[in-house]
């Protein structure tokens, strides 16, 4: 082969290599699409089914990480209370047989919660079938019953949060605990809040959980008189967003009421419009906000929630 032919061949190989490297860089620089999660697939298809692409173990792990992040994030906002209150979400059982309810074991601080420390509870029996430790009794009695009532009604609830957040708790202690439509953050909850004025102590039996679920009657938020709040939603991200903005709405109301001046309330049409506008983009907004919060807590928290 002549020197000229060799030169041409080497030049061609060099150009091809440069093109190949450039192409790889171009595609690697593109943001990878976020995988479609199980609850999103259910929403798209309108029926309950877990992701075909992800194994039960992988999806269980994904749900564990989401829930652990929620525990740590809400604690970072000062919205936890001792080693009490409880957040849960449903996940496919690791053994592939049905679903479990993920809860944190009694005794952990919320900031200590990581994916591997969560326990999986059988919805029907309330017994731990995954992980080490036992959840608080009231957590099992409330969460299991809320999920079971949701199944009976055909609801798509996959996540339940129960908290004693400061301003929502203050609101629940008023003789009239109604969330007033006085602010944009309040209006997002227009027509979606139920109220319980029958507080009878701790939920030491399953009937209390059933009672709370019946009072909610399809609404996403329950303000529990002299107690706290119960939030239900399809995903951990949405429930987190709801909890955050519910506390903000209650804070604005308590601060406004403390002025002693008359509240300026939106009419039903105005409040309904705001809710419609916010809910039109709610899943995306909730997901993006939660992802941002997860990035922050991975930097700040001494415990890696994905552990």
d(CA 69, CA 50): 21
Each residue's pLDDT tens digit, 100-115: 999 999 999 999 999 9
> Token pair of 99, please?
């679903």
The one-character DSSP state at 35 is P
Distance (Å, rounded) from C-alpha 82 to C-alpha 100?
25
Give the whole-number percent of the chain exceeding pLDDT 90.
77
Q: What would you measure as the largest C-alpha separation in the chain, in angstroms?
A: 97
Its pTM stands at 0.82
Q: In the prediction, which pLDDT does 200 show?
A: 87
251-298 confidence digits (pLDDT tens):
999 999 999 999 999 999 999 999 999 999 999 999 999 999 999 999
Strand duo 86-92 + 99-103: pairing? antiparallel
Q: Is the predicted pLDDT of residue 32 greater than 50, yes or no?
A: no
Chain-centroid distance, C-alpha 60: 15
Q: Compute how many other C-beta atoms are within 10 angstroms of the C-beta atom of residue 196.
A: 18
Kindly tell me if the per-residue pLDDT of 38 is higher than 60: no
Question: Among residues 84, 121, 127, which one has the least CA distance to residue 103?
Answer: 121
């Amino acid at each position: 082969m002549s020197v000229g032919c060799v030169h041409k061949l080497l030049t061609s190989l060099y150009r091809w290599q440069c093109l190949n490297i450039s192409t790889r860089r171009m595609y690697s620089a593109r943001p990878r699409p976020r995988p479609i999660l199980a609850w999103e697939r259910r929403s798209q298809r309108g029926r309950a089914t877990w992701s075909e692409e992800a194994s039960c173990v992988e999806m269980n792990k994904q749900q564990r990480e989401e829930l652990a992040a929620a525990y740590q994030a809400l604690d970072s906002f000062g919205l936890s209370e001792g080693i009490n209150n409880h957040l849960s979400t449903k996940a496919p059982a690791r053994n592939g047989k049905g679903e479990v309810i993920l809860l944190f074991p009694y005794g952990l601080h919320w900031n200590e919660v990581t994916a591997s420390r969560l326990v999986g509870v059988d919805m029907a029996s309330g017994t731990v079938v995954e992980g080490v430790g036992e959840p608080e009794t009231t957590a099992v009695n409330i969460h299991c019953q809320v999920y079971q009532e949701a199944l009976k009604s055909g609801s798509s609830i996959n996540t339940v949060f129960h908290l004693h957040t400061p301003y929502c708790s203050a609101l629940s202690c008023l003789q009239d605990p109604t969330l007033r439509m006085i602010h944009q953050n309040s209006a997002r909850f227009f027509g979606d809040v139920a109220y319980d004025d029958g507080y009878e102590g701790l939920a030491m039996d399953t009937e209390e959980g059933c009672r709370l679920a019946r009072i909610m009657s399809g609404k996403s938020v329950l303000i529990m008189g002299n107690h706290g709040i119960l939030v239900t939603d399809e995903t951990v991200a949405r429930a987190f967003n709801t909890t955050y903005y519910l506390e903000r709405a209650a804070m604005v109301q308590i601060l406004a009421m403390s002025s002693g001046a008359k509240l300026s309330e939106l009419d039903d049409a105005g409040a309904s419009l705001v809710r419609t506008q916010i809910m039109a983009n709610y899943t995306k907004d909730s997901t993006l906000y939660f992802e941002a919060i997860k990035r922050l807590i991975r930097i700040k928290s001494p415990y890696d929630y994905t552990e």
